[in-house]
Structure 1
């Protein structure tokens, strides 16, 4: 089938208190592992590419690979721009055929963030592409952006309600204690903030920085509108680990068709595990 929009799959997840896995897609092997895992779990999946991955692989190649994989996939596949850092990169993705985009204006003032997001919504909605945006500051390392976790700010639920109302975004990423990258200690999620945002809005919510979040915390967040959960660092970690292990055990092997396979399989298994957590529906009280 063709690449699908995230709008309807997130709407169903939001209404039924489960979430769709959105996985960082950095190369062909990781993309194959992601889709294989989603097929094994028989669930839609979102391939996410950051501006850094787009610069590395090339936007035409990413879109072409994703389209071809979606065409033969047994499950719906969406192609999403994660943390779009400018209006220009969003427009490039829209013109290329991406089926979902995120514009990240969280570093801007509230009014400037709203203005940027509205501009993207005005460009994307007429062609049926949903828009994700962020308010508040999520710490850690994402692509070429590093935010000191001590400087991260929680999303104000009242401001979130105003932001969603003014921008008409299709999904919203609040800052409630998660961080990009791997955690040095167990994160303290502010589910009280997430619950208030959920109660004030009617918009699918997105968890960024889910790599390393305890399973119970991940599932508890599903009660409060989390319909999309982003994973990237964990995929890179298991891919690199299995690649290193294989080359260490097989020092004479020089065929990428062989040494990439265990790494790809590790990604598939991780994706299956994460999707299994997200598909366990936890109904709100």
Structure 2
């Protein structure tokens, strides 16, 4: 099966009350772990690439690795630009074979966000590529995205219809209480399902996206802390909240920090127990397996898209 767009994926997800996992990729082992997990449970996938990952790994290398994963698994896989911050970056990814891009104009005034997003949509749609826009701003740090708590803002449901109508976007990322990175909540995380319900009412059948939706798995945080890390109190979004969101209008849930924690924690543990080893295969193999098992659990227990490929 060739690399696909998210259009059909999201239609099925909305109607079926589940979400597709959008997993950030940076290297071969991460791509292998994610796609091997999805193959075992027959799930559709979105592999997303940030500007930082694209710069680190090289666009061509990443695309060839993803093409190899598609050949090995036969799954429907979409390739998505995560947090594109300019028309030029989105254009480069579209021209380079991405099937989906996000243009993040959430830091701009409303009218400027519309203008930038529509510019990307017009170019992307000519090439058969779909576009994700964003309204509202998530707090936290992830790659080039750095938003303080004071600058974070929930999505205003009064703006969503105008934004979608004027831009022509295919999906919309909203801010309802998630956050980028392995962050600290003051108390338990609370998602604004009232905002999600209102957005769903105003945009019936339209796919919604949640960024910053890692659950910050405690076992990996503890593993990192045990072997030299310093992440006291790190928390994420409880998985039952994500399951509820997936049963509503949310068709795409982004997961990045959990992958990083799984890989880093496993590698730290390996070196603590095998300090004289230096073969990359010896420590990257267990890290790849940790990612695979994590992704399988996410697909089955949180996203609900197992068996939907």
Secondary structure of the residue aligned to 1:224 is coil
User: Please, which moves more after superposition, 243-252 or 20-29?
Assistant: 243-252
Residues 280, 31 of structure 1: CA spacing in aligned structure 2 closer, same or farther, 3 A cutoff? Answer: closer
**For residue 197 of structure 1, what is the aligned residue in structure 2?**
199
Provide Cα deviations, 1:174-215, integer angstroms capped at 9, x if missing partner: 111111112312321110001000110031000111112111
User: 1:46, 1:278 → 2: CA distance?
Assistant: 15
Secondary structure of the residue aligned to 1:180 is coil
Q: Any unmatched runs of 5+ in structure 1?
A: none
Secondary structure of the residue aligned to 1:266 is helix
Q: How far 1:64 moved relative to its partner? A: 1.4
Q: How far 1:279 moved relative to its partner? A: 4.2
Secondary structure of the residue aligned to 2:247 is helix
Provide Cα deviations, 1:13-65, integer angstroms capped at 9, x if missing partner: 01221000000101111111010111111111111110011111111111111
Pairing 1:268–2:292 present: yes
C-alpha RMSD of matched pairs (Å)? 1.2
**For residue 208 of structure 1, what is the aligned residue in structure 2?**
211
- 1:34-49 maps to which residues of 2 (within 5 A)? 34-49=34-49
Q: How far 1:246 moved relative to its partner? A: 1.1
Pairing 1:277–2:301 present: yes
Secondary structure of the residue aligned to 1:46 is strand
User: 1:204, 1:171 → 2: CA distance?
Assistant: 5
User: 2:57, 2:17 → 1: CA distance?
Assistant: 35
Contact (CA 8 Å) 2:137, 2:154: kept in 1 or not? yes
Provide TM-score, normalisation by structure 1.
Answer: 0.95
Q: Any unmatched runs of 5+ in structure 2?
A: 216-236
**For residue 59 of structure 2, what is the aligned residue in structure 1?**
59
Provide TM-score, normalisation by structure 2.
Answer: 0.88
Pairing 1:81–2:84 present: no
User: Please, which moves more after superposition, 222-231 or 191-200?
Assistant: 222-231
Contact (CA 8 Å) 1:13, 1:20: kept in 2 or not? yes
User: 1:150, 1:214 → 2: CA distance?
Assistant: 23
Number of equivalenced pairs = 281
Contact (CA 8 Å) 1:20, 1:278: kept in 2 or not? no
Secondary structure of the residue aligned to 1:178 is coil
Moved over 2 A (4+): 277-281
User: 2:31, 2:23 → 1: CA distance?
Assistant: 9
Contact (CA 8 Å) 2:21, 2:303: kept in 1 or not? no
User: Please, which moves more after superposition, 28-37 or 217-226?
Assistant: 217-226
User: Please, which moves more after superposition, 149-158 or 40-49?
Assistant: 149-158
User: 2:58, 2:247 → 1: CA distance?
Assistant: 38
